[in-house]
Structure 1
Amino acid sequence: MVHIIVVGNEKGGSGKSTTSMHVATALVRMGHRVGALDLDLRQRTFGRYVENRLAYLERTGLNLPSPDYRTLPEVSAEDLGQGENAYDARLSAAVSALGAVSDFIIIDCPGSHTRLSQVAHSLADTLVTPLNDSFIDFDLLARIDAETGKVIGPSIYSEMVWQARQLRAQAGLKPIDWLVVRNRLGAQNMHNKKKVGAALEELSRRIGFRVAPGFSERVIFRELFPRGLTLLDLKDTGVDQLNMSNLAARQELRDLLAELRLPGVTVEF
């Protein structure tokens, strides 16, 4: 059975597409067949990341492992069942096609609430929610008391995940393994980092997710996108000696892959 990894939240700029691309490429490099979908039909950052990669490989003649990226197929009105939503049909067709040839499918969701994103969350075996390490992004998950810092209750995105879990339970599917990833962890402002961490740990026990560190703020991520490259491609493109920042970033990726606990995956790079 194909294992579906959904990367989502309802806020832009948290590193969803960077996370999607690096996880997808790492899995391909480890010998797994990986399909990829981008459900942000306007911005398409993940899709453009893969397209940049393919264009770079064509220019240079290199042959780097790459995910099997596909766009959602068009569906004619005549092919829709009575009352069937066109977006549901397009996503179902794409997942079915990739599922026949993939071990994993990575779905990058838009930074807003859409019908496609809602349906994708209900398909997730693993849900990865990148989060910038601040209470601005934390508000996506839960409301907190400004005086005490205590969690008052879940917010809109958490409620959508809860609904997706309910749909999966009704369909007899296994529960979503939800991982909240703390991106852009800074070395400074330790007090705020501890407060965000404590609030996440409290919330994780209440609504059922795991917490893991993600990617720090590094220039290398912005430099890689135009060529569609990842941290794992640098040596193949002629970079013989990685600097300390790049080595640390590779370790962050290795730790994230291990924390995902994907079936049949042994992290080796």
Structure 2
Amino acid sequence: MSDPTVIVVGNEKGGAGKSTLAIHIATGLLHAGRRVAVIDLDLRQRSMAKFFANRAAWMAANEQVLPMPIEPDMGDGKTLAKADEAEQTRIFEAAFAHARASADVILIDTPGGDTLLSRMAHGLADQIVTPMNDSFVDFDLLGHVDPVTLDLIKPSIYSESVWEARKHRAISQGRNATIDWIVVVNRLAVAAARNRQRLEERIEKLSRRVGFRMGPGLRDRVIYRELFPFGLTVADLSNDVRPVSVSLAHVAARQEMRSLMLALGLDSGTLDAPLDAAA
């Protein structure tokens, strides 16, 4: 069996939508028939772990069968967060080894901050997916801009972290080993804004400077949040799985998610099938 593809969802700022993006990518891959292992490194919040626990409970209560990921044992998150670096490294490496032996895609959700485990995960990545909100507050972690002209000055701390991850990969796997870095602007407001245009211009300049590509994000839709308590995403919706009434907004969200998966070079699975909205 060939080595699995490692996808890291990363951004050192909290609230950028990393976990939302991670669970949607995971469920999209699962419905495409991929063997997916998920590792949740947000040791305090554990949103992705909670999502799949909700999914198992919902399936049992509703006598439904949906694809589930492989979840290597990371123990109790809060206990692990308090452990020393040697213990954290040991547990993560064991979980990653389990995932590597069992899956063809490993998806790692990282916390909003610079941690040992996050740095380790970035160094193992084949692909880094960085969500950011439609805001210069989020952009500040990628690049610094002049406070008067808003001209791009230099890359910022997270861009430097990705650079270090790329350097580590080149040293460990050879100079031709690369990390595909995709930045997606998440939680877009539906209406266009002047601020967004300015932001997109700076992102485009920074992408050429530090070497990432742009991908479509997920708009700020209630739909992405309302299915979380069930452990479901729009990829799961079908004639048999409809915990909420399906509307045109769900259809649009499904197409949005399909566009994201295709931009990442991933299978779009059941997202290719039409979804009928309620009359």
**Deviation digits for residues 147-180 of structure 1 (CA, Å, limit 9, x no counterpart):** 2221111111111111111100101252110000
Residue 73 of structure 1 contacts residue 93 of structure 1 at CA under 8 Å; is this kept in 2? no
From 66, 72, 78, the equivalent of 1:64 is: 66
Aligned residue number for residue 236 of structure 2: 233
From 198, 202, 220, the equivalent of 1:199 is: 202
Q: Bigger shift: 17-26 or 62-71?
A: 62-71
From 10, 13, 19, the equivalent of 1:11 is: 13
Q: Does 1:95 align with 2:96?
A: yes
Aligned residue number for residue 155 of structure 1: 156
Residue type at the aligned position of 1:66:
M
Residue 4 of structure 1 contacts residue 105 of structure 1 at CA under 8 Å; is this kept in 2? yes
SS of residue paired to 1:171? helix
Residue 38 of structure 1 contacts residue 71 of structure 1 at CA under 8 Å; is this kept in 2? no
Residue 258 of structure 1 contacts residue 267 of structure 1 at CA under 8 Å; is this kept in 2? no
Rounded Cα–Cα distance in structure 2 between residues aligned with 1:30 and 1:133: 30
**Could you tell me how far 1:3 is from its partner in structure 2?**
0.4
TM-score, reference length from structure 1: 0.91
Aligned residue number for residue 260 of structure 1: 264
Residue type at the aligned position of 1:136:
V
Count matched residues: 259
Aligned residue number for residue 117 of structure 1: 118
**Could you tell me how far 1:129 is from its partner in structure 2?**
0.4
**Could you tell me how far 1:36 is from its partner in structure 2?**
0.3
Aligned residue number for residue 77 of structure 1: none
Quote the sequence identity (%): 46
Aligned residue number for residue 184 of structure 1: 187
Rounded Cα–Cα distance in structure 2 between residues aligned with 1:31 and 1:3: 14
Rounded Cα–Cα distance in structure 2 between residues aligned with 1:105 and 1:22: 14
Residue 52 of structure 1 contacts residue 227 of structure 1 at CA under 8 Å; is this kept in 2? yes
**Deviation digits for residues 202-221 of structure 1 (CA, Å, limit 9, x no counterpart):** 00000000111210001111
Rounded Cα–Cα distance in structure 1 between residues aligned with 2:73 and 2:204: 37
SS of residue paired to 2:246? coil
**Deviation digits for residues 184-242 of structure 1 (CA, Å, limit 9, x no counterpart):** 11233521111111010000000000111210001111211111111112223236973
Structure 1 residues 241-252: aligned runs within 5 Å = 242-252=246-256
Rounded Cα–Cα distance in structure 1 between residues aligned with 2:135 and 2:85: 39
Unaligned runs of 5+ in 1: 75-82
Rounded Cα–Cα distance in structure 2 between residues aligned with 1:189 and 1:27: 31
Rounded Cα–Cα distance in structure 2 between residues aligned with 1:182 and 1:207: 17
Residue 28 of structure 2 contacts residue 268 of structure 2 at CA under 8 Å; is this kept in 1? no
**Could you tell me how far 1:71 is from its partner in structure 2?**
3.3
Aligned residue number for residue 78 of structure 1: none
Aligned residue number for residue 219 of structure 1: 222
From 204, 210, 213, the equivalent of 1:210 is: 213
Residue type at the aligned position of 1:258:
L
Aligned residue number for residue 275 of structure 2: none
TM-score, reference length from structure 2: 0.88
Rounded Cα–Cα distance in structure 1 between residues aligned with 2:165 and 2:132: 20
Rounded Cα–Cα distance in structure 1 between residues aligned with 2:33 and 2:191: 38
Rounded Cα–Cα distance in structure 2 between residues aligned with 1:155 and 1:69: 33
Residue type at the aligned position of 2:39:
L
Structure 1 residues 22-171: aligned runs within 5 Å = 22-72=24-74, 85-171=86-172
Rounded Cα–Cα distance in structure 1 between residues aligned with 2:244 and 2:224: 18
**Could you tell me how far 1:121 is from its partner in structure 2?**
0.4
**C-alpha spacing 1:39/1:170, structure 2 compared with 1 (3 Å):** same
What RMSD in Å do the two structures reach over aligned CA positions? 1.9
SS of residue paired to 2:153? strand
